[in-house]
Chains A and B, each alone.
Chain A
Amino acid sequence: MRFLPLVWSGIWRKPGRTVLIFLQATVAFALFGVLQGLKAGVDNAVAEARADLLLVHGRSGLFSFPLPVSLLTQIQALPGVKFADPVELFGGIYQNPSQKIGIVAVRPDPGWLSTFTFQVAPQYAEALRKTRTGTLIRTHLAKKYGWTIGDRIPLQTNLAQKSGSTDWAFDVVGTYTDSDVGGGNDTILVNYDYVDEARATDTGTVQHINVAVTDPKIADAVAGEIDRQFANSPNETETSSLRDLAQQQVQSIGDLNFLIHAIVGTVFLAVLFATATMLMQSTRERTPELAILKALGFSACTVSLLILAEAIFIFCAAALGGLALATLVFPFAARFVHGISLPGVTVAIGLAFGALAACVSAALPAVHAARLRVATALAAQ
């Protein structure tokens, strides 16, 4: 404790230099924080993806082949299934081709919400159920296009009606939000039964069936059971949970980790080199002062510990500053990766990293200070 004033005065011997080292290291740690935060966000997305929500697709590929909607009753009857709901997806444009809208057709029967990641107010869910041509819009679409409840929105789509027209119109009856990060933002919910009856082709089919299970632990078993039910039938299914799908997405960005490590490694290499030369120079400049300390009876070990302590202080301060800076960037970065966050363990790793970097960059100067011979150093003066 009694050495603290010595360390403190050593740090502020050349304030400009210290501040610059601090700033450089801060930037490096901010980068570290942002990249680790991104990774944590991606991991979070997987962990938070619902394991109890199964998606049943036709086996031949994700969106390629529709399943008959009649499978719904068989799936609903399986043990462990809480609710099953049909999902039909098609695309449309509002007014001009750059304003794309994803249309999600569902059956809003009581209990349907358990099979989705949507949040819908009860009165809106009720309104959708009662209005055949009704639609719930994502809250931000209401702002984007100025839609309000009661509006009738015309969409040009890629799905033909029996009349031959590919134009559809839906009545806005409410809004909803979606906690799932995938699937795009500009989406609206409409009634499956209305769409299915009105369309010219593929009547009686769905793109996938969403299934909520009673307990996430039995999700795998239920998924296997569903696929077994339809094995060797013309409608073979492939069932996976939302979490499985999220996991696969993350695996496909496999090089992300390599990229993060390479970049963080490079920036730290540069910082280490710069700091090491700076500290070396400052130790050399302080040779007479260090020699006086030794002459006063400080041991070689204590003197080099003083130098180390200075470096550790600067680096740890920079680590904290940088990580704090990173969290300031998060609200902006959250637009690209949802759930970006800085877990405690990353802060700990950052601090440990800081201490390690301090030791590495101060190693040579500390040795120099320890080896210093009092007589020669003072004589040089």
Chain B
Amino acid sequence: MALLQINLAGLPHRAGSALAIVVGVTCSVGVLVSMLAMGAGSRQQELGNVRADRVVISSVGGRGIAGNITRDELAAVQGLPYIRRSSTGEPIVVPEAIVPQQGRRRGTGVRIFFPLIGVGGEIGADEPELHVTAGRIFRQGLHELAASAPCARQFTGFDVGDHRSIRGTDWTIVGHFEEGKSQVCIVYADVDTLMSAFGRNSYQRISLTLKSPADFAAVRAAIRTDPSLHLEVQSEREATEEDFKPLNGLLNFVSYFLGGIMAIAATFGSVNSLYSIVDSRRRELATLRAIGFRSATVIATTLFESILLALPGAFLGSALAWALFEGMSVSPFGYSFHLVVTPSLAALGVVWALAMGLIGGLLPAVHAGRASVATALRAA
């Protein structure tokens, strides 16, 4: 302990080297935590609205817009037991027809695609997280659209009262809604009106609410064993995770790849700084050894010093990532989400820094412990 105090007391004299370590670790942890915050943000957003009692049904071999669910299949699903009933006594089953549409980003005018989803049944009962923030929801049988609030924030032509021409017909935006934490632009319309406008006869997806999450296995089995149904049943969590698996995999790979490379660079830097710190204390260390401190003690304290120097970098890095990027909206892959710096990410940053301190301090510490007392004292 006393040795460590001596180590640390000398630091102000070697402020440059110490600072170089701190800056290196800060940069590395900062980049790692910021990058991972993108993944954490997108996950939080995707899974934020997931409910255990909600089930997503798609057709076998065709997910998303490639789905092909017939009216007979919908009727069969509606007839299943286990499905919760709404206040009006109807089973809460929402068939969806999905049509990708084009929009333009505000400011840049860049073309984007957003899903126009025709929904039937009682959307409010299936999605209690849906809140109308302006205007009202669409009415059945009319060419009316309800847009999620992020649409209006990010893209042009989504204000309440705006008209959009779809398949040669005039549709009116009648309201905005928020769905929990979702930052995705989605537009809802009446499913029958939409399907007749597009001359379609099949749905792409069905969402339904169970009486209890425990009924999931029973529903899955019932649909799988019915030979007339070519449907795939997934809990909402499974479906969401599968949809975003490629994106999350990419984000995580990029984060660890870049964070790893920066950590390697920072470790080389801190090895160098520690060597020079040890070098400049050669006489001091030799004296300590001469008066009876064991070399293992010298190695341990030098290692500990290295770790202590890495720690402020970890906190600074996480703090900087938080201060600069928390809540910032990015769309690196055309899909926008907020960055979220979670405590677990900060903890990961600290572990990362500790590893850098430990690995970086190893060689210099051994060097400090091994130095021959006689040579070191004579050289001075």
Chain A contact residues, CB within 8 Å of chain B: 16-17, 20-21, 23-24, 27-28, 30-31, 60-65, 90-93, 97, 100, 155-160, 166, 201, 234, 236, 248-249, 251-256, 259, 263, 266-267, 269-271, 273-274, 277-278, 280-281, 336
How far is A147 from B76 in the complex, measured between Cα atoms in Å? 37
Docked-complex contact B112 and A156, CB < 8 angstroms: no
Closest 10 CB pairs of A and B: A158-B62, A252-B334, A274-B269, A24-B268, A270-B27, A277-B16, A27-B265, A20-B272, A64-B99, A158-B68
In the complex, 9 of the A-B residue pairs with CB atoms within 8 angstroms, ordered by the A residue number, are: A30-B261, A31-B258, A61-B101, A61-B113, A90-B66, A91-B62, A263-B258, A266-B27, A278-B20
Residues of A within 8 A of B332 (CB): 253, 255-256, 259
CB distance from A45 to the nearest CB of B (A): 15
How far is A249 from B265 in the complex, measured between Cα atoms in Å? 33
1/0 per residue, CB under 8 A from A, across B265-280: the answer is: 1101101110110000
CB distance from A69 to the nearest CB of B (A): 16
Residues of B within 8 A of A63 (CB): 65-66, 100
Docked-complex contact B262 and A16, CB < 8 angstroms: no
Pick the contact of B273: A157, A266, A274 (CB < 8 A).
A274
Pick the contact of A93: B61, B108, B202 (CB < 8 A).
B61
10 further A-B contacts with Cβ under 8 Å, apart from A20-B269, A254-B108, are A64-B101, A91-B62, A91-B66, A156-B230, A158-B60, A252-B331, A256-B332, A263-B262, A270-B23, A273-B23
Counting chain B CB atoms within 10 Å of each CB, which of A17, A249, A253, A270 scores highest? A270
Docked-complex contact B265 and A28, CB < 8 angstroms: yes
Docked-complex contact A60 and B266, CB < 8 angstroms: no
Pick the contact of B334: A24, A91, A253, A270 (CB < 8 A).
A253
Docked-complex contact B68 and A159, CB < 8 angstroms: yes
Docked-complex contact B24 and A273, CB < 8 angstroms: yes
Counting chain A CB atoms within 10 Å of each CB, which of B61, B101, B250, B330 scores highest? B61
B111 on the A face (CB < 8 A) = yes
Residues of A within 8 A of B331 (CB): 252, 254-255
Counting chain A CB atoms within 10 Å of each CB, which of B20, B67, B111, B275 scores highest? B20
CB distance from A94 to the nearest CB of B (A): 10
Docked-complex contact A92 and B61, CB < 8 angstroms: yes
How far is A267 from B35 in the complex, measured between Cα atoms in Å? 14
CB distance from A295 to the nearest CB of B (A): 25
Residues of A within 8 A of B31 (CB): 263, 266-267
CB distance from A206 to the nearest CB of B (A): 15
B17 on the A face (CB < 8 A) = yes
Residues of B within 8 A of A251 (CB): 108, 110
How far is A271 from B20 in the complex, measured between Cα atoms in Å? 9
How far is A255 from B108 in the complex, measured between Cα atoms in Å? 13
Docked-complex contact B61 and A252, CB < 8 angstroms: no
CB distance from A36 to the nearest CB of B (A): 14
Docked-complex contact A269 and B100, CB < 8 angstroms: no
Number of residues on chain B facing chain A (CB within 8 A): 58
Residues of B within 8 A of A273 (CB): 19-20, 23-24
How far is A104 from B218 in the complex, measured between Cα atoms in Å? 36
Residues of A within 8 A of B166 (CB): 60
Docked-complex contact A97 and B60, CB < 8 angstroms: yes
Pick the contact of A269: B27, B101, B116 (CB < 8 A).
B27
When A160-B68, A248-B111, A277-B273 are in contact, do A267 and B265 touch as well, CB less than 8 Å? yes
CB distance from A217 to the nearest CB of B (A): 24
When A269-B23, A274-B23, A278-B273 are in contact, do A61 and B258 touch as well, CB less than 8 Å? no
How far is A252 from B20 in the complex, measured between Cα atoms in Å? 38
Residues of B within 8 A of A158 (CB): 59-62, 66-68, 230
Docked-complex contact A274 and B261, CB < 8 angstroms: no
- Which A residue's beta carbon lies closest to that of B250? A336
How far is A338 from B100 in the complex, measured between Cα atoms in Å? 27
Pick the contact of A201: B116, B168, B201, B268 (CB < 8 A).
B201
Residues of A within 8 A of B66 (CB): 63, 90-91, 158
B209 on the A face (CB < 8 A) = no
How far is A20 from B271 in the complex, measured between Cα atoms in Å? 8
CB distance from B103 to the nearest CB of A (A): 11
B244 on the A face (CB < 8 A) = no
Residues of A within 8 A of B61 (CB): 91-93, 97, 100, 155-158, 166
Docked-complex contact A253 and B333, CB < 8 angstroms: yes
CB distance from B305 to the nearest CB of A (A): 17
Docked-complex contact B261 and A31, CB < 8 angstroms: yes
- Which A residue's beta carbon lies closest to that of B63? A91
Pick the contact of B62: A157, A255, A269 (CB < 8 A).
A157
CB distance from B32 to the nearest CB of A (A): 11
Counting chain A CB atoms within 10 Å of each CB, which of B261, B269, B331 scores highest? B269
When A17-B275, A271-B265, A278-B273 are in contact, do A252 and B65 touch as well, CB less than 8 Å? no
B198 on the A face (CB < 8 A) = yes
1/0 per residue, CB under 8 A from A, across B321-346: the answer is: 00000000011111000000000000
How far is A252 from B112 in the complex, measured between Cα atoms in Å? 8
How far is A16 from B112 in the complex, measured between Cα atoms in Å? 53
Q: Which of B96-124 contact A (CB under 8 A)?
A: 99-102, 108, 110-113, 116
Docked-complex contact A274 and B24, CB < 8 angstroms: yes
